[in-house]
Structure 1
Amino acid sequence: MYQEDPAWDDIIPLPQDDGDKPLAQIAYTEEYAEAMSYLRAIMAKEEYSARALAITEHITEMNPAHYTVWLYRAKCIFALSHDLRQEIAYLNNKALRHEKNYQIWHHRQLIMDKLGDPTGEAEFVAKMFEKDSKNYHVWSYRQWLVRRFELWEGGELEYVDKLLAKDIRNNSAWNHRFFVVFGRGGEVDMDVVEREIKYAEDAIYLAPQNQSPWNYLRGLISRAKLPLSKMEALCKHYAPVDNPDRITSSHGLDWLADIGAEKPETKDTAIKALELLAKTYDPIRTNYWNHRKVLLQKAVA
């Protein structure tokens, strides 16, 4: 208890003020309430000290999602010129115990930005992905790393290849691939576009009903300002509307419907695709597909 610790004798704690008649007062533990009272007091004094750092560690152990405490911890670390590598090691343990905690990753970003050296970060992030390869906070952090330290050519595509070889349906990995290939902006290299189209086509071959590579293709086509009809042959291969028994992908049907809006001469194929989606391949959204059919007919007319 801080009130019994001589090191805190000079501090008058500031309890939380919930008003005279709190509507829904949170039942904090005595330990947590006392620690926060002492932290408020030193925050009011803008004290950046070893004991301030220690109390933030204590509180984040009880509540690792307390954003304000993490921000104050960062201020203490920078004011004290605390060993940043030591802080990263501390965060490693925290992150592995609290995988979905945004505050930990935001704090890590602040520390890494100040440190200015990403050595070991890719390896630790990979360790996190071994626990959950679709952790949104970790992927956001990895993209920040790539942008902050110009790691576009630092083996990112090769790493994505490994993740997709393990799970071709990992939409997060597909998203990261698009970020790495096109995240720098600028003119689009058509050789790169063709390479990525081939990559997506190979993934579709492995799992035609997997939506991720189809979405990736749509992004590619849009980024390169190419017509949707460029992929017409691919769509017809997996969604031959005249031979429904051979259809293996509803996403191919969806794409054929969109081509119909782009190329009026393919209207009949597009309408057949929408009818198949409504009746057989995605009946839960029958009203949606029928609505699109009406819109297509009106547009062509």
Structure 2
Amino acid sequence: MHGVLKVKTSEEKARELKLKELEKIKEYQRITTKFNEFRSQEDEFYEEKSLDESKIVLENNPEYYSIWNYRRSVLEYLEKNREHDEMQTLYKNEMKFIEECIQRFTKSYWIWFHRKWISLKLDKCDWERELKLCSKLLDLDLRNFHCWSYRRFILKHSGIPLTQEFDYTTKKIEQNFSNYSAWHQRSSLLTKIYTEPSELASKLKEELEWVRNAVYTEPKDQSSWVYHKWLTGTLKPIVATTEYKDILKSELGPITELMELEPDCKWPLYISLLLKLEIGEYPKDQLLQDIQLLIKLDPYHINYYKSLENKI
């Protein structure tokens, strides 16, 4: 009938989707076949056309890692046969191409590795811009560990103050206490920024106070608790035994309060048990009772909790 809109069935939609996928596969096969033919006919000397041909394949499939290796071989050859300024232009163009790939394929190992390699080839890499690129991507996906890894790479080679990155982790954690990668980044920075034992000890104590905000806000989220555990473990070898025990005892107070507020949450109970084991001044019956309660709250880790009994 005229004027009646025909609605496609799910089978018709699935058939159309499959046909489109087959077309994409055929097109990709055509592209790779063309590239392989080009390589087989290629002279032993590379030219810029080698970059152009390989680029077409990578735009469709950046996981084809051997082609990234091929591009590096091309660039290394050209580096020996071209003027320095000309190569710098090629490297800058390569950075633009990689950025286009990253925006479409944010979690490809090979893209990120290639960007690291190219960035060190530049006379002057704009490291601040690289950080901004990472920040933009992390705003979209806070768990993109490729970005976090690249940020550490940038800090290693750029001379950008570590305190700047430390402030960035504060911002990301305050946005989302569950940002495990930001907590990890923070822990990796602390021991690099504060190298003197007394200075580090002071900062770690300050961090213990700061992390309480996170555990009280999201008591069931493990990331902040893992960071808390790391802080106390890092403190142990740099302060006197008596001072260390006093610090742990001061931590027990607010954690015990949180246990009362969140009786069904395992993390406050678990961390308090670890603190008590470190302090070593609590009755065995009390510790065993804590372990039994942990097993009740978290039966999936029963064997681990039972292993803690050996420390009593």
SS class of match (1:120): helix
Deviates more, 1:243-252 or 1:102-111: 243-252
Deviation string 1:207-250 (CA, Å, 9 cap, x unpaired) is 22221122112222222335775334434533469x86753742
- From 61, 64, 89, the equivalent of 2:62 is 64
- From 286, 291, 303, the equivalent of 1:269 is 286
Task: Name the structure with the higher helix share.
Answer: 2
Give the Å deviation of 1:154: 5.7
Q: CA deviation at 1:178?
A: 1.2
The amino acid that maps onto 1:124 is L
Counterpart Cα distance in 2 of 1:40 and 1:214: 56
- 2:275 aligned to 229, 249, 259, which one? 259
The CA deviation string for residues 66-124 of structure 1, in whole angstroms up to 9 with x for no partner, is: 22211221343352515233222222111010011111100100111122421411111
Q: Which moved more, 1:55-64 or 1:199-208?
A: 199-208
Distance in 2 (CA, whole Å) between partners of 1:36 and 1:269 is 70
Query: Given that residues 252 and 275 in structure 2 are in contact (C-alpha distance below 8 angstroms), is that contact kept between their aligned partners in structure 1?
Result: no
CA distance in 2, matches of 1:73, 1:260: 57
TM-score using structure 2 length: 0.75
Kindly tell me: are residues 254 and 278 of structure 1, through their superposed partners in 2, closer, same or farther at Cα, counting changes over 3 Å? Answer: same
Q: Which residue of 33, 43, 49 maps to 2:47?
A: 49
Q: How far apart are 1:52 and its partner, in Å?
A: 0.8
Structure 2 equivalent of residue 214 of structure 1: 225
- 2:248 corresponding residue in structure 1: 231
Q: Structure 1 residues 213 and 283, CA, compared in 2 at 3 Å: closer, same or farther? A: same
2:177 counterpart SS class: coil
What is the identity percentage for the equivalent residue pairs of Structure 1 and Structure 2?
23
User: Are the aligned partners of 2:163 and 2:193 in contact in 1 as well (CA < 8 Å)?
Assistant: no
| CA–CA distance in structure 1, aligned partners of residues 205 and 152 of structure 2 | 24
User: Structure 1: which amino acid aligns with 2:179?
Assistant: N
**SS of structure 2 residue aligned to 1:224:** helix
- SS of alignment partner, residue 289 of structure 2: helix
- Gap regions ≥5 residues in structure 2: 1-25, 80-86
Residue 285 to residue 31, structure 1, CA distance change in 2 (3 Å): same
Give SS of 2:281's match. Answer: helix
Distance verdict in 2 for CA 1:88–1:216, change over 3 Å: same
Q: Which residue of 2 aligns with 1:12?
A: none
- How far apart are the structure 1 equivalents of 2:192 and 2:46? 39
Deviations 1:264-283 (A, max 9, x none): 4223432222111111x213
Question: Matches of residues 52-201 of structure 1 in structure 2 within 5 Å?
Answer: 52-78=50-76, 79-80=78-79, 81-83=87-89, 84-115=91-122, 116-117=124-125, 118-153=127-162, 155-183=164-192, 186-188=195-197, 189-201=200-212
Amino acid at match of 1:89: K
Aligned residues: 267
Q: Which residue of 2 aligns with 1:8?
A: none
Question: 1:36: which partner in 2?
Answer: 36
Offset, 1:185: 8.2
Instruction: Supply the RMSD in Å over aligned alpha carbons.
Output: 2.9
CA–CA separation in structure 2 for the residues paired with 1:38 and 1:193: 59
